[in-house]
Amino acid sequence: MNQVSVDAAAPVIVFRKESRWKEVWRRLKKDRLAMFGLAVISTMIILALLADFIVSYEAALKMNLRLKLAPPSAVHWFGCDGYGRDLFARCLHGARVSLTVGFATSIATLIVGSLLGAMVGYIGGKLDDIVMRALDIFSAIPSTLFAMAVVAAMGSGIVNICIAISLTNIPGFVRIVRSSVLNIAEQEYIEASRAGGTSTLRILLKHVLPNSVGTLIVQTTANVASMILTAATLSFLGLGINPPQPEWGALVSEGKEFLRTAPHLILFPGVMICVASFSMSVLGDGLRDALDPRLRT
């Protein structure tokens, strides 16, 4: 009986979703700033993926003291750092680390945060109280310090940085999802579904989460921007990836020793950080408007 009703409903849902995403894409395409962000961040991702074909990783590590602090030139587009390493190669290979951290942490936060948020929001009661109080503790610690302590405890490296940064961002995400779920859970179609005997888990996965998908997408896109900044701050403070591996924040940190003599060392990685974070945030804004035109301001 139950099975039949689900099967009958399935094609309808698919149809609705398809038209909705087409609609969103159509609106997003009109937003020039958002499309600019999308184009820039896509280019960055492609360049980072193809980094090995553009300049080899060895070029990013090869020291050449004769080229120490060399200014930008035709051979070394971004100049060379304090060890004579090619800054363009370091920025390009650094993009791999920085973008990976930005996207991986946002996706991890999305998965853990939305499941936990939907669960506590929908089930409520004691579970909600316990989880929310535990999250209060996490969010009372300044996130940069917390992430630093976690990286120090687990050791540096990309995976550990991702875990540390995700941990600091999950509480905020859970709160957002929870309030969105609380809102949806009051709707009549959820009540109808529950009255029809659908299990809690099924309601969560089939009805509640799909309906907060807009919130999730917007928040995740905005998160990528802020996580790129957090990762850069962490490695700027000296608790991030292992040197000599390049990463944008670490490059700025290395460059600050030569601020007076070679300002291009902070300029190029700095611009990378800003451009990546800016592109993701305008894309996030555009998505928010495209997903919910009523909010358009």
Output the smallest distance, CB 143 to another protein, in A: 6
Nearest residue to 106 (alpha-carbon basis) of 24, 209, 216:
216
Looking at beta carbons only, is 18 or 136 nearer to another protein?
136
- The least CB distance from residue 81 to another protein, in Å, is 15
Q: Is 45 in the site for another protein (CB under 8 A)?
A: no
Exactly one of 282, 283, 290, 291 binds another protein (CB under 8 A); that residue is 282
Tell me which of 66, 140, 188, 195 binds another protein, using CB under 8 A. 140
Is 241 near another protein (CB under 8 A)? no
Q: Using CB under 8 A, which residues numbered 151 to 180 contact another protein?
A: 152-155
Contact 279, 40 (CB under 8 A): yes
Does 130 contact another protein by CB under 8 A? Answer: no
C-alpha distances in Å from residue 262, one per residue of 28, 65, 69, 216? 41, 15, 6, 42
* Residue 113 vs 190, nearer CB to another protein: 113
Over 240-295, what HEC string results? CCCCCCCCHHHHHHHHHHHCCCCCHHHHHHHHHHHHHHHHHHHHHHHHHHHHCHHH
Phi-psi region of 141 (alpha: psi -120 to 50; beta: other; left: phi over 0): beta
Which of 246, 96, 240 minimizes the C-alpha distance to 164? 240
Q: Report the site for another protein in 213-232 (rule: CB under 8 A).
A: 225, 229-230, 232
Do residues 94 and 272 touch, judged by C-beta distance below 8 A?
A: yes
Shortest distance, position 234 Cβ to another protein, whole Å = 9
Among 36, 57, 77, 278, binds another protein (CB under 8 A): 278
User: Whose CA is closest to 69, among 42, 51, 87?
Assistant: 87
Q: ∠ at Cα 51 (47, 55), nearest 5°? A: 125
Is position 67 an interface residue for another protein (rule: CB under 8 A)? no
- 190: contact with another protein by CB under 8 A: no
137 binds another protein (CB under 8 A): yes
Letter for the amino acid at 46? I
Minimal distance, residue 75 CB to another protein, in Å: 26
Q: How far is the CB of 165 from another protein (least distance, A)?
A: 11
- Chain residues in the site for another protein (CB under 8 A): 133-134, 136-146, 148-150, 152-155, 225, 229-230, 232-233, 236-239, 249, 252, 256, 259-260, 263, 266, 270, 273-274, 277-278, 281-282, 285, 297
